Amino acid sequence: MGDEEKALEELAQEVKDCHRCILSERRFCAVPGEGDGHAFLMIVGQAPGEGEDMVGRPFIGPSGHLLRYFMGVAGLSFGDTYRTNLLKCMIPRYSRPKWASICACLPFLEREIALISPRVILTLGKFPAKVLFKLHSLPVPPENRTIPALFGKPYEVQGRVIFPMPHPASIIYNHSLLPDTMEHFRALGRFLQENLTE
């Protein structure tokens, strides 16, 4: 086992043992990231769902199935990515992440990014986009309702690309978002093909 793999395993165990915020009190499992430790593409979602909370793995529920489909639309393999979440514990249904929990979890995400060193970070939803933009000193829209204007576009900074996307879960609740989401993922595929092919 290489040093990076060992470091990721140690980080995953720290996530599982974490009690830094109130979310740890109601979870069944904390959910560390998983996937290719040398992936060029990292996916950052908002938080685990109920299915993920039960088994401790990211993107295995309905949103994960949609994400796999959209990755195929982009011409990408889900298995070649590293998948993680901004928050490592489930949040109450229909609630938004609290900044106290985000701040408690953020060191885990920062270490994942440092270890994986992805060329592209795909953010899913408004909160991961806001946080990753702040981490990379990109200007963040002042209001959440304007963040979707960022979706489907690459933002190059500090030697990597941040590519914000709508969260697949939004399709479950609002089917009218499907055409735009499909086009955003097609745009991702075109961008990667034109700019990041080896």
**pLDDT (tens digit, 9 = 90+) per residue, 45-86?**
999 988 899 999 999 988 888 999 999 999 999 889 999 999
Say if residues 147 and 164 touch (Cβ distance below 8 Å). yes
Residues 157-166 have pLDDT tens digits of 988 999 999 9
pTM: 0.93
In a domain, 135, yes or no: yes
Q: Rounded CA gap, 104 and 149, in Å?
A: 28
CATH code at position 177: 3.40.470.10
Domain assignment present for residue 92? The answer is: yes
Total count of domains within the chain: 1
pLDDT at residue 95 tops 90: no
Nearest to 27 by CA among 71, 88, 72: 88
Element (H, E) at 164: strand 160-165
Q: Pick the closest to residue 20 from 112, 128, 108, 132 (CA basis).
A: 108
Residue 193: CA count within 13 A, CB half-sphere = 9
Cα separation, 154 vs 121, whole angstroms: 10
Task: Say whether pLDDT at 194 is over 90.
Answer: no
Question: Residue 55 falls within a domain, yes or no?
Answer: yes
Q: What are the CA-CA distances from residue 90 to residues 22, 65, 95 (Å)?
A: 11, 18, 10
pLDDT, average across residues 167-183: 84
- What is Dmax (Cα atoms) for the chain? 46
Please check whether residue 198 lies inside any domain of the structure. no
Sign, CA dihedral 53-55-56-62, equals: negative
Range(s) of the domain holding residue 37: 3-193
Task: Please tell me which of 89-93, 113-117, 139-143 the model is most confident about, judged by mean pLDDT.
Answer: 113-117
For residue 28, being part of any structural domain is answered with yes
